[in-house]
Structure 1
Amino acid sequence: MIISSWNIRGLDGAGKLSMVKNFKNKSRLDMLGLIETKKELVTKFDVMRIWGRDGAGWEYVSSVGASRGLLLIWDETVFKLINCYKGDRWMCVEGVVIKDQFQCAVCLVYGAHVRAEKRVVWEELSYIAGLCQVPVCFLGDFNEAMHLEERKEATTLSASAEDFRDWINDMELVDLSLNDRRYTWFRGSSCSRIDRSLVTLGWLEMYPGTRLRGGPRGLSDHCPLIMEESRKFDGPRPFRSLDSWFTHEGFLRMVKEEWRELGDRQFLDKMKVLSIPVQRWHKQHFGNIAEKIRKFEEEIKKVDDMVSSGMHDGTLELRRRALVRCCEK
C-alpha cells in the first residue's frame, strides 16, 4: 500500500493544483492526504480533479475560515472504509486493505503551533488509537522537530519536543526514517523536519518493508511524504495519456487514422498496437517530457540541498522559482 501526505497550503491556486495533479500522476498512490487545503467544502468535482479517475473514496475536515483543512482520498479497489473519526486538526479512517485483508487505521495530522494545543491533539490521537484497536499509521505535518539535527542550526529545542518524544514512546510508535533528505519544510534560510510518519508495531509486522521518502515540493514550502512497501508492483502497466496531446491539432486526426487501419481486431489488442504510433508521434512533437521534468526536479532538489547545507541568498531563491516555473510549463 502506498500512502502520501502533503501540506499544500491551499488548493485554490492553479499552480498548486497542477503540482498536486502532476505529483499524483507520477506516483502510483493508493491513498493521498492533503493538509491545509483552506477549503470549507470539498466536492466530488474537487476530488476528481485531483485523483483523475473514478473509484475514489474521500473524507475531509473543513477549514476554519482561510486556514487549516484536511482531505484524504483513497482507491476504493484498494481500501474499504469502515469508520471515520474527525477532529479539528486530524482525521482518521479505519478500514481494510482489501488485497491483504489487513484491518488498519490511517490518521492524517496537522499539528498545532502552541504547546498546550499540541498536547491536546496528541491526547486525542491516543484516544482514537485506543478506540480503533488496530494497527495505526499517523502521517502528516506534526509541527514539531524531535532532535536538534532536525532543525537547521538549532542549539536548543522547545519543551514541546520533549512532550512529543514522550508521547511517541508511550504510544510505542516507530518514527520512519527519511533517508533521501534532511528536512521537509523550507522558508528562506530556515529548514526543519516537521513532517513524518509514525506507525505501530502491528503495521510493521504486516508490512516490514515499509519505507519513507520525500517528493518534489514544487510551490509548497513542504515536501510531500510518500510511504510505500518496498515490494515491487507486479501488475500490468496502464495505458497513459497526456493532457498536452489533446492541445495539438494533429493528435486526434492521427489517432483516427491509425485506429481505422487496425481494422476489426479486439479492442485491447488495438489499444496495445496503437501505443506504438502514439509513442512515435509524442517523441516527434513533444520530445521526452518526463525526462525534462526529471532534470528540472533534480535541479530544484539541488537548490533545496544547498539551502539545507547553509547556503542561502537571493540568487538561489530566484533560481528555484525559475526552475519551478519551467517545470510547471
Structure 2
Amino acid sequence: MLGLVETKKEMVTKYDVVRIWKSDSAGWEFVNSTGASRGLLLIWDETVFKLTNCYKGDRWMCVEGVVVKDNFHCVICLVYGPHMRTEKSSVWEELSYITGLCQVPFCYLGDFNEILHLEERKGATSLSASAEDFRTWINDMELIDLPLNDRKYTWFRGQSCSHINRSLVSLGWLEAYPETCLKGGPRGLSDHCPLIMEDNTKFAGPRPFRSLDLWFTHEGFLRMVNEEWKELGNIQFLEKMKALSVPIRRWHKQHFGDMTERIKRFEE
C-alpha cells in the first residue's frame, strides 16, 4: 500500500493512479486538496487488500479491509496533522472515534506535524503543549510508535530538521505482524523523506542482487567483471552468477563504500 500526503490535487482520477502504480488493478481512495494545499491519497493492490469501508476527514483518511493472504482485518489510516494545537486536538479526537467504531487492529501513518521527544527536533529545548497532547493521545490509544533506526529526522528545511513523519500501530497489529519495522527512503526533491514499513517475516529469504548505474561510470568495472568471470571457469551459469556477486560486492565497497550511510550523512 502506498500513502501520499499533501498531494495538492483537488481530484484524483484512475489515470493518475495508473501512472503512479503502473497497473490498472489498483484500488484507491483520496481526500481532495484545498486549493494547492493538503490532499491525501492511498493506493493498494486489490489482490492483496480488500476494502470494506472508508472514513474520511479533512486531514485524515482510514481504509478498513482485509489482508487477503492472512485474512487479517485491519484499518490503515493516512494522516496529515495540522499546525495549530486546537486543530490537532480535533484530529486526535476524530481518530479516537474511528478507532472505537472499527474495533480492529490499526495502523496510523503519515505526517503528524508533531514530535514526541526533544531529540526529534534540532535545537529543541522543551516540548510544546501540543507535543504533550500528542503523547497523551498515543498513550491513551495504546499505540506503539515504531522506531526509525536508520535516520534521526524525517523533515528538512534549511537548518531546521524534525522527526514528524511516523507510523503508529496498535498492539493487535503487532500480535499479527510482530516483526513490523520502519525505515527511511531517499528524500529526493521533497523536504520529507518517505517511510517504508514492512514485516521482516514476509520478506525473509535470499537477498536480491541489484546492479547500480554508478558502477558503469567507473572505468575499471567491466574489466573487473570480465576477469572475475573468466576465473570462475566452466561452472553452471546460475551458480556462476551467484559467485560473481561476491567479488562485485568487494569491489563496490573498495571503490564506493557504504552508499546508504553516505546518502544518510549528506541528507543530515
How does the TM-score come out when normalised to structure 2?
A: 0.79
Among 141, 158, 162, the alignment partner of 2:111 is 141
Structure 1 counterpart SS, 2:70: coil
Letter paired with 1:36? E
Q: CA 1:236/1:79 → structure 2, altered by over 3 Å: closer, same or farther? A: farther
1:165-222 per-residue CA deviation (whole Å, 9 max, x = no partner) reads 0000000000000000000000011100000000000000000000000000100000
Counterpart Cα distance in 1 of 2:199 and 2:133: 30
Among 257, 261, 264, the alignment partner of 1:301 is 264
1:216 equivalent to 2:179? Answer no
Letter paired with 1:304? E
1:231 equivalent to 2:201? Answer yes
Counterpart Cα distance in 2 of 1:43 and 1:236: 38
- Which residue of the partner structure matches residue 97 of structure 2? 127
Counterpart Cα distance in 2 of 1:236 and 1:53: 26
How far did 1:235 drift? Answer: 9.5
- Which residue of the partner structure matches residue 62 of structure 1? 32
1:236-294 per-residue CA deviation (whole Å, 9 max, x = no partner) reads 999xxxxxxxxxxxxxxxxxxxxxxxxxxxxxxxxxxxxxxxxxxxxxxxxxxxxx9x9
Structure 1 counterpart SS, 2:69: coil
Counting matched residue pairs gives 224
Among 57, 82, 90, the alignment partner of 1:112 is 82
Structure 2 counterpart SS, 1:99: helix
The ranges of structure 1 where at least 4 consecutive aligned residues each deviate by more than 4 angstroms after the TM superposition are 234-238
Letter paired with 2:50? K
- Which residue of the partner structure matches residue 153 of structure 2? 183
Counterpart Cα distance in 1 of 2:12 and 2:206: 32
- Which residue of the partner structure matches residue 46 of structure 2? 76
Among 189, 195, 201, the alignment partner of 2:171 is 201
Counterpart Cα distance in 1 of 2:148 and 2:207: 28
1:134-183 per-residue CA deviation (whole Å, 9 max, x = no partner) reads 00000000000011010011111211000000000000000000000000
Q: Where in structure 1 are there 5+ consecutive unaligned residues?
A: 1-30, 239-291, 306-329
How does the TM-score come out when normalised to structure 1?
A: 0.65
Q: Cα RMSD between the aligned structures?
A: 2.4
Counterpart Cα distance in 1 of 2:40 and 2:202: 30
How far did 1:304 drift? Answer: 1.5
Q: CA 1:108/1:203 → structure 2, altered by over 3 Å: closer, same or farther? A: same
Among 50, 58, 70, the alignment partner of 1:88 is 58
Letter paired with 1:45? Y
1:99 equivalent to 2:69? Answer yes
Letter paired with 2:162? S
- Which residue of the partner structure matches residue 167 of structure 1? 137
Letter paired with 1:166? T
Structure 1 counterpart SS, 2:139: helix
Aligned-residue sequence identity (percent) comes to: 76
How far did 1:302 drift? Answer: 2.2
How far did 1:298 drift? Answer: 5.7
Counterpart Cα distance in 2 of 1:39 and 1:182: 30
How far did 1:299 drift? Answer: 4.4
Counterpart Cα distance in 2 of 1:81 and 1:235: 29
> Which is bigger in relative contact order (C-alpha 8 A, separation at least 6)?
1
Counterpart Cα distance in 2 of 1:236 and 1:69: 38
1:48 equivalent to 2:10? Answer no
Q: CA 1:237/1:172 → structure 2, altered by over 3 Å: closer, same or farther? A: closer
Counterpart Cα distance in 2 of 1:149 and 1:118: 21
Contact 2:151 2:264 in 1 (8 A): no
- Which residue of the partner structure matches residue 121 of structure 2? 151
How far did 1:53 drift? Answer: 1.3
Letter paired with 1:61? V
